[in-house]
Structure 1
Amino acid sequence: MTNPTLDAYQQIFGMACLVGRSSGYKGTAIELQLQLQYDLSFYLNNVPPVTVMGQTSPSVADSSVTPVLGSWNLVWGPALLEENNDGVADNAVFVAQCDAVAFPGGPVMPAYVVAIAATNPDSLYDWEAEDFSVSQVVNWSTYNPSDFSPSGYNGTDPYISLGTATGVSNLLKLTTASSAAAPGTTLEQFLSSVQPAVDTAVIFCGHSLAGALSPTLALYLTEQKTLKAFDLTLVYPTAGATPGETHFASLFNSTFPVLPSGWEPQSLPYQSWNTMHWNNLDVVPHAWQKQDLQQIANLYGHSPNFGTAATLSVLQSLAMLDSSRSGAVYTRIQNSSLSGTLQHSDGGSAISVPPQSLKDYVEQLFIQHVEMYSGIPADSSNPEVTGLILPQPLPKPAYPKLVPGVSSVTKAELIERIVSQIIGWISSHALSALKPVLEA
């Protein structure tokens, strides 16, 4: 087979995009797991059949996919968490394997990819328990994913946010369903049991929430010696918020150098390993480092609408307060910014720049946080936009199908949900700040 059109970095990011499809649906936990598994059967080989959809044998990736993405096999998962039985996926993960990946500036070698899902905008649990839970921290030196609690910051040990600690714990607790690949196993059990070929890499990737979880999980499993069978461990996080403070960032950076020994550096902005790549117009990776949080209210220009400007200013102030409350100084792991471009329309509807409303702001946020990384196809009134990592989105099935009981979620619904989540978060934090005054 000839080399795929996407390089290794883009292939790995493509896996993060695929696991993120779990955010596009509503249903029970098993329905959502089967839907993601069915979707993966279009892109990956050896996905166990989803019998309710009429599949009777393991999948063969569609012929439109392999020339672009390469030939990858599903070997574990997908596994999915629906914490509150509210019809949405909170976390999702799968592992894929390829016999020969051509690493730019490095060798051709087999690789396993642990792909972790981004924040589900429709998941209140994601927002509250994992994304926004940063006012308390967990000591990394004593962190046990099965039994942990926040503690006071001592200024010397590495610490991660309570939200990051919760997310990693959730991923490690997941057990694959009977219908999935490697059924009845946890991710840690699977990775510790793998007997890979000589000179095999394992790569952790994820976008948004998973841009914080993937480096943290990779570091945890490295320290636990779970990955000792692999010759090389890499991380490719994107668009992630800051997982921890200064000492944690230093620990990650020293454990995972930007370039493996003997590999040649590459010229394109997205081409570096163990580096969090982020769009400089993306709000999410501006959290939770103080100097970056100070930019979020006016990232798309100062709103001329008083109410919108005030709301964004309050959002920024409350985020900064939460970030500083524990005393830990949130610090990005090694990272590289990518140059985004402001968009003035969304599939035919205009987006005001600067934002006239909170909806304008969130629509721009959604584009910059999701679509700018993977490209925006042309429509009747706009030319295509080349993505910061993928030139254009991965091929899609011509006739997508839904598992019985599953419904799809539209982009408009997700944007509406983000607006309501932001307003709710501001309201709850404002009331919390006012409570001592009201009780006095």
Structure 2
Amino acid sequence: MFQNPGSGVADNAMLVACSDVTFPDKTVKKMVVVAIAGTAAESTFDWTDEDGAGGGKGTAITGVVSWADFLKTPTEIPASPPAADEAYISVGTATGLCTLLGMVDSSTTPKQTLVEHLATSEADILVVTGHSLGGALSAALGLYLAQTGAAPGIATTYVYPTAGASPGNDVFAQTFAKVLPAVPGPVAWQSWNLDIWNTLDVVPQAWGTADADPTIRTLNNVNVIYGNVDRTPLPPNAVATPADVAALSSRLLGWSQGSQVTYTPVQGASFPGQTVHFVPERRGSLVGLPVRVPPHDSIGFAAQALYQHGMAYSDVVLAGMTPLPQDKNALVSGVERESLTELLNYFATLFGSASRVEEPDRVEAAE
């Protein structure tokens, strides 16, 4: 775990696990899984320094780091100016990778970094996975481990990123596809080396700058992703994109274009999203917030986006599976689980919106 100085949350976390796994064809293989946590919901460090969506300057996105230089020595030092036809990652991606590569497992003697651990690991398959911020970082970390030969005792490396933003530019995405070829499955989420994304999730739309097209990932989809209209004059009965949302997407688009590289998503596989009219507090809860489609304000937009970026994935991927046992363990003393309302109001503050939702506005879903 990593906690930035002054932070009150775990800003980054990573787990390494090893087990024998039985595959559908009944073969048993030893698998090492490196799982990377997504954005800590109330981590200003994550949003500003790694995701790049928070703050007012966007330096985590406007700045880029040479991938060739990073492979030699992990660094957060930006290239200026970036050269044509070379692979680059965002400064935010580089910051996250440096953090992960610098983490030490204090339970081992001697203490080990991830690379030190993998250097002596023996297994059949290495899987690097993560969601959201973890999706972008798992794609980049998996490529780093593969290109540096960090796990000589493991024959095969796969990545399984979900809902990740673009870690780098077009040449980086091409390098990813060459080193880690796609292994498509019967459905999107049963694939290797592909970023699994929900077509109604705004996060994977970053940081592409292509024209709006619902079949690809680009920031130009954000304003219209939930059925709003962002042109004038507004057609009859249409709902305009909330002003705060339009301002935010414009700012993010400007940062991406200001990087002087063409941010490009790594190869991906999508599943069709479905808008909801009620966003539960957590999966399976009857308490939450009603939302209008299309959203009429930034809070409604954020609530829909929060569902599409989180619960929509588990609702699709885990459909038909035996539910996991409910965790009945008490939270660590001093730790509280954020409510949906707290998250929405935190996001509003982070992105400069004046909109707020009050706790009493939560309602129970109709049964």
TM-score range, shorter chain: 0.7 to 0.9
Instruction: Tell me which residue corresponds to 2:103.
Output: 174
**Secondary structure at the counterpart of residue 185 of structure 1:** coil
**Secondary structure at the counterpart of residue 96 of structure 2:** helix
Distance verdict in 2 for CA 1:154–1:105, change over 3 Å = farther
Structure 2: which 5+ residue stretches go unaligned? 53-59, 211-217, 230-237, 281-286, 354-367
Q: Distance between the aligned counterparts of 1:317 and 1:269, measured in 2?
A: 30
TM-score w.r.t. the length of structure 2 is 0.82
Q: What fraction of aligned residue pairs are identical, expressed as a percent?
A: 34
**Secondary structure at the counterpart of residue 13 of structure 2:** strand
Q: CA RMSD in A?
A: 2.3
Distance verdict in 2 for CA 1:183–1:359, change over 3 Å = farther
Match of 1:350 among 290, 293, 297: 290
Asked if 1:185 corresponds to 2:125, the answer is no
Superposed, 1:422-433 pairs within 5 Å as 422-423=351-352
Distance verdict in 2 for CA 1:190–1:358, change over 3 Å = same
Q: Distance between the aligned counterparts of 1:338 and 1:136, measured in 2?
A: 31
Q: Distance between the aligned counterparts of 2:326 and 2:156, measured in 1?
A: 34
Structure 1: which 5+ residue stretches go unaligned? 1-79, 260-264, 376-386, 425-440
Superposed, 1:382-401 pairs within 5 Å as 387-388=316-317, 391=320, 395-401=324-330
Distance verdict in 2 for CA 1:322–1:98, change over 3 Å = same
Tell me if the contact between 1:145 and 1:165 (Cα under 8 Å) persists in the aligned partners.
Answer: no
Instruction: Tell me which residue corresponds to 1:299.
Output: 225
Report the CA distance between 1:217 and its aligned residue: 0.6
Tell me if the contact between 1:105 and 1:266 (Cα under 8 Å) persists in the aligned partners.
Answer: no
Instruction: Tell me which residue corresponds to 2:161.
Output: 237
Superposed, 1:190-269 pairs within 5 Å as 190-196=117-123, 200-259=124-183, 266-269=185-188
Instruction: Tell me which residue corresponds to 2:90.
Output: 161
Q: Distance between the aligned counterparts of 1:309 and 1:398, measured in 2?
A: 38
Number of residue pairs the alignment of both structures matches: 323
Match of 1:149 among 64, 73, 77: 77
> 2:255 corresponds to which letter in structure 1?
D
Instruction: Tell me which residue corresponds to 2:338.
Output: 409
Q: Deviations over 1:260-292 (max 9, x none)?
A: xxxxx6322222110001000000000011121
TM-score w.r.t. the length of structure 1 is 0.69
Report the CA distance between 1:305 and its aligned residue: 6.8
**Secondary structure at the counterpart of residue 365 of structure 1:** helix
Distance verdict in 2 for CA 1:414–1:190, change over 3 Å = same
> 1:112 corresponds to which letter in structure 2?
V
Asked if 1:421 corresponds to 2:350, the answer is yes
**Secondary structure at the counterpart of residue 93 of structure 2:** helix
Distance verdict in 2 for CA 1:422–1:394, change over 3 Å = farther
Distance verdict in 2 for CA 1:238–1:393, change over 3 Å = farther
> 1:280 corresponds to which letter in structure 2?
T
Report the CA distance between 1:359 and its aligned residue: 0.8
Report the CA distance between 1:398 and its aligned residue: 4.9
**Secondary structure at the counterpart of residue 61 of structure 2:** coil
Q: Distance between the aligned counterparts of 1:108 and 1:318, measured in 2?
A: 49
Q: Distance between the aligned counterparts of 1:321 and 1:416, measured in 2?
A: 25
Q: Where do 4+ consecutive residues of structure 1 move more than 3 Å?
A: 104-108, 144-148, 303-306, 388-394
Distance verdict in 2 for CA 1:98–1:326, change over 3 Å = same
Q: Distance between the aligned counterparts of 1:101 and 1:192, measured in 2?
A: 25
Instruction: Tell me which residue corresponds to 1:138.
Output: 65
**Secondary structure at the counterpart of residue 81 of structure 1:** coil
Tell me if the contact between 1:145 and 1:172 (Cα under 8 Å) persists in the aligned partners.
Answer: no
Q: Deviations over 1:71-107 (max 9, x none)?
A: xxxxxxxxx11113321111100111121231x5795
Flag the structure with more relative contact order, 1 or 2, with Cα contacts below 8 A and sequence separation at least 6: 1
Report the CA distance between 1:250 and its aligned residue: 0.7
Match of 2:36 among 92, 100, 116: 116
